[in-house]
């Protein structure tokens, strides 16, 4: 059954925190910009960040996996990357001199793709990786948060991805969370949420961004 979730400001990026602070672009997973991302953004603001949350699905969000798959299949990756560029450009115009990007699942994949352009100072990806054909040099530190149980597409396994990062000289930190599965940090999807691991991953991500954007 299709489950569409109403979201605030559909199609428009949500903005949190003081303009001019280091900017973090927060990218949703294949379900769309669900409400829990707002709480994540508000938590980051308390660390001193400006947070922008684009809507890659132009107003649609869901809790249904069939609908999520359709939305993912219809996603224009070039458009998604341009939304991140727009958020960063606006942030820099408002005085943000450092940039971080965080993405979840599909959003993590997009964050890692975007980081290859060199405009971010740090990138965090939850349960995401890049396969060889998509992977170029990522010239900023990378942090990965992986589920203990996940189904990776052929060529997308994180072991190979981490090896390639190290070969290129990219600083990378990787964490796996026992007892978790894909989506463990999405608080709007209770069937996959693992609250303790989500909290620990958040603390690690926030500290990682503090080190690279604030200090």
**Counting beta carbons within 10 angstroms of the beta carbon of residue 133, is it exposed (0 to 12), middle (13 to 18) or buried (19 or more)?**
exposed
Give the predicted TM-score (pTM) of the model. 0.96
Given this model, what pLDDT does residue 215 score?
A: 83
Given this model, what pLDDT does residue 83 score?
A: 97
The CATH fold assigned to 14-214 is: Rossmann fold (3.40.50)
* Pairwise CA distance, residues 124 & 102, whole Å: 5
**Counting beta carbons within 10 angstroms of the beta carbon of residue 143, is it exposed (0 to 12), middle (13 to 18) or buried (19 or more)?**
buried
Q: What confidence tens digit (pLDDT) does each residue in 89-101 have? A: 999 999 999 999 9
Contact predicate 119/93, CB 8 Å: no
- Nearest-CA neighbor of 7 among 66, 50, 71? 71
Q: What confidence tens digit (pLDDT) does each residue in 26-81 have? A: 999 999 999 999 999 999 999 999 999 999 999 999 999 999 999 999 999 999 99
Strand partners, 51: 16, 24
Q: What confidence tens digit (pLDDT) does each residue in 146-185 have? A: 999 999 977 789 999 999 999 999 999 999 999 999 999 9
DSSP 62: B
* Pairwise CA distance, residues 45 & 18, whole Å: 8
Hey, where are the domains in the chain?
A: 14-214
DSSP 22: P
Given this model, what pLDDT does residue 155 score?
A: 77
Q: What confidence tens digit (pLDDT) does each residue in 105-134 have? A: 999 999 999 999 999 999 999 999 999 999
């Amino acid at each position: 059954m299709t489950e569409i979730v109403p979201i605030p400001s559909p199609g428009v990026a949500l903005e949190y925190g003081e303009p001019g602070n280091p900017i973090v672009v927060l990218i949703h997973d294949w379900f769309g910009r669900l409400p829990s991302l707002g709480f994540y953004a508000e938590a980051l603001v308390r660390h001193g960040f400006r947070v922008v949350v684009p809507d890659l699905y132009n107003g649609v969000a869901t809790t249904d996996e069939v609908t999520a798959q359709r939305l993912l299949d219809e996603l224009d990756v070039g458009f998604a990357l341009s939304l991140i560029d727009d958020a960063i450009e606006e942030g820099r115009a408002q005085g943000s001199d450092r940039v971080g990007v965080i993405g979840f699942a599909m959003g993590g994949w997009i964050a890692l793709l975007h980081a290859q352009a060199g405009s971010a100072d740090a990138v965090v990806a939850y349960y995401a990786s890049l396969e060889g054909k998509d992977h170029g040099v990522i010239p900023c530190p990378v942090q990965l948060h992986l589920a203990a149980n996940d189904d990776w597409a052929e060529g997308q396994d994180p072991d190979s991805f981490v090896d390639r990062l190290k070969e290129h000289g990219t600083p990378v930190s990787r964490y796996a969370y026992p007892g978790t599965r894909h989506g463990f940090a999405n608080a709007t999807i209770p069937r996959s949420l693992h609250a303790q691991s989500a909290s620990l991953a958040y603390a690690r991500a926030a500290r990682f961004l503090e080190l690279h954007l604030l200090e």
